[in-house]
C-alpha cells in the first residue's frame, strides 16, 4: 500500500496515512492506523513504533495534567450524613474535571453507637482513641489529608492530629472562611449540645476569626439535640421538627444573627435554604466543597 491510499480495517475506513490535514478527522492519521493497537497494513514499522511512542507520551501528559490528592474521609457519625459527603465530593470533582472523573477517596466508617455512649459519659479521651486509630488507618490507606465528617467530634481534632502526619481540614475553619467571605460578623449556631455549649467550636470561630456566636436558649438547645440523635441520625425527617428548627433559626436572627450555621452534618437534610430567608451555612456542603478544592489544589 502506498502513501495517500485509503484502507479498510475491521469495518472502519481509515484515512490516508501521512496525508491527514488538521480538522480532517477527530484522530490524527497516526492514531487512525494504531486504533487496533497494531501497525496498519503497509505502514512502515519504524513509523508505527514512532506512533506508539507519541501516543504513550500524549496519554502520560494528559494524566499528569490532572493533579488530584487522595481524600481521607472519617465517616459513620452518622452514616446518614457521610453519604452526603461522598456524593457531594464526587459531584464536585466531576463538575471540575468532567468526563467520568470522581474523587480519589479512602474512607473509614466507624460504628457510631459506642462513640455516642462515650459522648454521653463525657469520655472524650476514649472517643479520641477510637478516632485516632481510624485516622491512622485512613493515612495508611494513602490519604493525603483528612476530613472528619462530623462537627461534634472535632472536639478531639487535636488528639487525632497528634498521631498522624497528614493535615486535617477543620470543619469550623471551612465554615468560618465562607462566612467571612460573605461579610458575616454575628452568626447563630445549631448543632448537638456538645457543639453548641462547649468551646472547641464557638471558641475557634470567635478567637481565630472574630465571629460573634449566638446559641439557642436552654430549652431550644435540647430540642435541637434531641431531634439530631432521635430522628436525623436514624434517617427520620419530620415536618414538625423542621418547623421547630425554623422557629429557632428565626429567633437567632432576632438576636442579631446574620446567618445560622447548621453545625451538625445531618441538619442540612432537614432544613434547606429555601425554607427560610435567613442565610444558612450547611457545614456538610461547605466541608465537602473545601475537600474538593484542596484535592485539586496545585501545591
Query: Higher pLDDT residue, 299 or 198?
Result: 198
pLDDT digit string, tens, across residues 247-273: 999 999 999 999 999 999 999 999 999
160-170 mean pLDDT: 98
Distance CA 68, CA 92 (A): 12
Query: Higher pLDDT residue, 30 or 115?
Result: 115
| Residue 75 pLDDT exceeds 50 | yes
At 187 the three-state DSSP class reads: strand
- Report the pLDDT value the prediction gives residue 65, as an integer from 0 to 100: 56
- Report the pLDDT value the prediction gives residue 298, as an integer from 0 to 100: 86
Helical ranges in the chain per DSSP H: 29-33, 45-64, 79-97, 112-121, 124-140, 157-161, 171-181, 193-197, 199-209, 218-230, 239-254, 283-296
- Report the pLDDT value the prediction gives residue 10, as an integer from 0 to 100: 33
Beta strand pairing status for 12-14 and 7-9? antiparallel
CATH no. for 172-282: 3.40.50.1860
Residue 36 CB coordination number (10 Å): 10
Q: Which residues belong to the active site?
A: 150, 264
Q: How many helices (H) and strands (E) does the chain have?
A: 12, 9
pLDDT category at 57 given cuts 50, 70, 90 is: very low
Q: Name the segment(s) of the chain with CATH classification 3.40.50.1860.
A: 71-170+288-296, 172-282
In DSSP terms, 239 is beta-bridged to none
Helix 239-254, helix 218-230: angle, nearest 10: 150
pLDDT digit string, tens, across residues 217-245: 999 999 999 999 999 999 999 999 999 99
CATH architecture classification, 71-170+288-296: 3-Layer(aba) Sandwich (3.40)
- Report the pLDDT value the prediction gives residue 225, as an integer from 0 to 100: 98
Find the range with the poorest average confidence among 37-41, 89-93, 174-178.
37-41
pLDDT digit string, tens, across residues 112-127: 999 999 999 999 999 9
Those residues with Cβ within 8 angstroms of residue 77's Cβ, 6 or more apart along the chain or in another chain: 110, 112, 115, 149, 150, 152, 153, 265
Distance CA 134, CA 140 (A): 10
pLDDT category at 103 given cuts 50, 70, 90 is: very high
| Residue 64 pLDDT exceeds 60 | no
| Residue 58 pLDDT exceeds 80 | no
Those residues with Cβ within 8 angstroms of residue 143's Cβ, 6 or more apart along the chain or in another chain: 70, 71, 72, 106, 166
Amino acid at each position: 500500500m502506498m502513501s495517500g491510499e485509503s484502507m479498510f480495517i475491521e469495518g472502519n475506513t481509515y484515512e490516508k496515512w501521512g496525508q491527514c490535514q488538521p480538522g480532517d478527522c477527530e484522530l490524527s492519521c497516526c492514531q487512525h492506523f494504531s486504533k487496533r493497537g497494531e501497525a496498519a497494513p503497509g505502514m512502515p514499522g519504524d513509523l508505527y513504533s514512532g506512533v506508539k511512542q507519541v501516543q504513550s507520551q500524549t496519554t502520560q501528559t494528559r494524566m499528569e495534567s490532572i493533579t488530584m490528592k487522595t481524600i481521607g474521609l472519617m465517616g459513620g457519625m452518622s452514616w446518614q450524613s457521610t453519604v452526603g459527603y461522598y456524593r457531594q465530593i464526587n459531584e464536585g470533582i466531576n463538575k471540575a474535571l468532567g468526563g467520568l472523573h470522581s474523587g480519589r477517596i479512602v474512607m473509614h466508617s466507624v460504628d457510631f453507637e459506642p462513640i455516642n455512649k462515650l459522648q454521653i459519659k463525657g469520655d472524650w479521651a476514649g472517643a479520641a482513641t477510637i478516632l485516632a486509630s481510624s485516622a491512622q488507618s485512613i493515612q495508611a490507606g494513602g490519604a493525603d489529608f483528612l476530613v472528619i465528617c462530623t462537627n461534634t467530634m472535632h472536639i478531639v481534632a487535636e488528639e487525632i492530629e497528634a498521631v498522624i502526619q497528614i493535615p486535617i481540614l477543620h470543619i469550623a475553619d471551612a465554615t468560618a472562611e465562607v462566612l467571612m467571605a460573605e461579610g458575616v460578623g454575628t452568626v447563630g449556631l445549631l448543632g448537638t449540645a456538645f457543639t453548641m455549649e462547649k468551646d472547641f467550636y464557638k471558641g475557634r470561630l470567635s478567637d481565630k476569626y472574630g465571629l460573634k456566636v449566638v446559641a439557642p436558649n436552654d430549652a431550644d438547645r435540647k430540642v435541637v439535640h434531641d431531634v439530631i440523635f432521635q430522628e436525623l441520625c436514624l434517617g427520620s425527617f419530620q415536618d414538625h421538627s423542621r418547623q421547630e428548627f425554623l422557629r429557632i433559626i428565626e429567633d437567632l436572627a432576632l438576636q442579631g444573627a446574620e446567618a445560622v450555621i447548621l453545625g451538625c452534618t445531618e441538619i442540612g437534610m432537614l432544613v434547606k435554604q429555601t425554607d427560610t430567608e435567613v442565610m444558612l451555612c450547611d457545614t456538610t456542603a461547605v466541608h465537602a466543597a473545601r475537600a474538593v478544592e484542596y484535592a485539586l489544589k496545585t501545591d
